[in-house]
């Protein structure tokens, strides 16, 4: 299976346009030059040296993770820390690494949806809807440079506007025929400037075949992508237009609000969380009452302390997230109960999402859950 097909399937479900501006979702490490076939994929939350060794032992040359291996970026690659060592091991072994982080958190059916499903709760709506504005980038360029222009847009993380119901972009390059992020259409040719046409000298009017390349991109990336396009060799004089296409769908964003068909006591709710998320201990806010009833619950995978107010405003009886700060607990002594179940625990179902997406699109592609994946936090 081609790596480009696998990435296209993942990004159809979780477009990189949904990631937060500080994030680094996407291809972290590519396959060696001349290699484009993937033997199988190993799924994990975090990429470690042990995960890379497991992939190599299984004969797999792709790792798909939730957390980016390269997050803040490397100023050097010396093996000075764990991410560098994992990256170096992957490169030596010829293993590609792809990560879907906040793009998977914000998409419909993403991490928080998986949390609700694990609890057996029915999702009602997004907890904190995304507020992403998109722009359409239209490039009129020489046909000879169009493929490179298109690749510049794809490499710059162009993507389909979420919530549109169908793709607003299609890609027809044979190597990426399943990608759905850029239109690529021939347009009328243009004549060269008059100075280059001399009827007396017998020079005929010359036409330059042109192509229109279009992409939907986040507004905050539009200017940079336009600049990247005009930096492509042969496309320096391309016409680039940026036009608005509207805001994102309110169905995407971080966290969800859900309800149980039948309410349960807070004690039973806590026991259910320990069972479904394999948690030995939970941090709970002071207002916890074992006999109180839980019907409506809000949740956000990962560090979701900033959405405590949104969860309270949604009328949640309980809010399930991770990495809650001490002062957030102090400010929430009564009313809605906060359950901090741990970062890894809240995001562990990301791997299940990866498997479901790929198995649906490519039923014969080998996908494995990592057996060496470990929660980096240990409870005593």
Dump the DSSP string for 181-202.
S-EEEEEEEEEPPGGG--TTTT
If you write DSSP's letter for every residue of 127-139 in order, what string do you get? EEE---EEEEEEE
Using alpha carbons only, what angle is made at residue 372 by residues 370 and 378, rounded to the nearest 5 degrees? Answer: 120
Structure tokens at 34: 């001349």
CATH code, residues 111-130+252-341: 3.40.1390.30
Q: 133-247 adopts what CATH topology?
A: Alpha-Beta Plaits (3.30.70)
Fold (CATH) for 3-101+349-369 = 3.40.1390
Q: What is the pLDDT of residue 250?
A: 59
For residue 196 the two structure tokens come to 């280059």
- 32-83 pLDDT, tens per residue? 887 889 999 999 999 999 999 999 999 999 999 999 999 988 889 999 999 9
pLDDT in tens, 78-125: 999 999 999 999 999 999 999 999 999 999 999 999 999 999 999 999
pLDDT in tens, 298-350: 999 999 999 999 999 999 999 999 999 999 999 988 889 999 999 999 999 99
User: Is the per-residue pLDDT at 201 higher than 70?
Assistant: no
Alpha helical stretches, state H, the chain:
3-13, 49-58, 82-93, 102-106, 111-119, 143-155, 219-230, 266-276, 308-313, 326-330, 343-347, 350-361
- pLDDT at residue 226 greater than cutoff 80: yes
pLDDT tens for 140-158 read: 988 888 888 888 887 664 4
Where are the domains positioned within the chain?
3-101+349-369, 111-130+252-341, 133-247
Mean pLDDT of 270-295: 96
Topology agreement, domain 3-101+349-369 and domain 111-130+252-341:
yes
Give the Cα separation of 15 and 103 in Å (integer).
6
Q: How far apart are CA 75 and CA 191, in angstroms?
A: 47
- DSSP for residue 160: P
Say if strands 283-284 and 367-369 run parallel, antiparallel, or are unpaired: unpaired
Please state, rounded to an integer, the average pLDDT across all residues of the chain. Answer: 86
Higher pLDDT, 250 or 22: 22
Nearest C-alpha neighbor of 206 from the set 195, 190, 219, 218: 190
């Amino acid at each position: 299976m081609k790596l480009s097909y696998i990435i296209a399937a993942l990004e159809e479900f979780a477009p990189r346009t949904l990631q937060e501006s500080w994030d680094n979702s996407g291809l972290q490490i590519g396959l060696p030059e001349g290699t484009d076939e993937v033997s199988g994929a190993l799924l994990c939350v975090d990429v470690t040296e042990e995960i890379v060794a497991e992939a190599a032992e299984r004969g797999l040359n792709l790792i798909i993770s939730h957390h980016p291996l390269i997050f803040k970026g490397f100023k050097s690659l010396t093996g000075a820390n764990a991410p560098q060592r994992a990256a170096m091991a992957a490169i030596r072994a010829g293993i590609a690494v792809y990560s879907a982080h906040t793009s998977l958190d914000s998409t419909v059916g993403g991490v928080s949806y998986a949390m609700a499903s694990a609890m057996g709760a029915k999702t009602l709506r997004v907890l904190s809807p995304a507020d992403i504005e998109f722009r359409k980038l239209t490039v009129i360029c020489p046909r000879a440079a169009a493929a490179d222009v298109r690749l510049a847009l794809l490499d710059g993380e162009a993507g389909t506007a979420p919530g549109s119901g169908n793709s607003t972009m299609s890609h027809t390059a044979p190597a990426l025929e399943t990608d759905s992020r850029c239109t690529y259409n021939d347009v009328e040719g243009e004549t060269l400037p008059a100075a280059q046409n001399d009827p007396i000298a017998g020079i005929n009017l010359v036409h330059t075949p042109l192509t229109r390349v279009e992409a939907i991109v986040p507004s905050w990336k539009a200017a940079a992508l336009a600049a990247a396009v005009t930096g492509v060799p042969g496309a320096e004089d391309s016409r680039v237009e940026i036009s608005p296409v509207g805001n994102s769908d309110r169905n995407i964003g971080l966290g969800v609000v859900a309800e149980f068909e039948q309410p349960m006591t807070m004690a039973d709710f806590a026991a259910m969380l320990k069972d479904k998320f394999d948690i030995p201990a939970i941090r709970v806010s002071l207002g916890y009452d074992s006999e109180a009833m839980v019907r409506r619950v809000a949740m956000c995978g990962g560090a979701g302390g900033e959405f405590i107010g949104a969860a309270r405003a949604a009328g949640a009886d309980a809010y399930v997230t991770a990495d809650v700060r001490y002062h957030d607990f102090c400010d929430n002594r009564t009313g809605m109960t906060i359950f901090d179940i741990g970062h890894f625990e809240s995001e562990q179902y990301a791997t299940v999402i990866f498997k479901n997406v790929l198995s649906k699109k490519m039923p014969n592609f080998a996908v494995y859950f990592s057996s060496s994946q470990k929660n980096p936090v240990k409870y005593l």
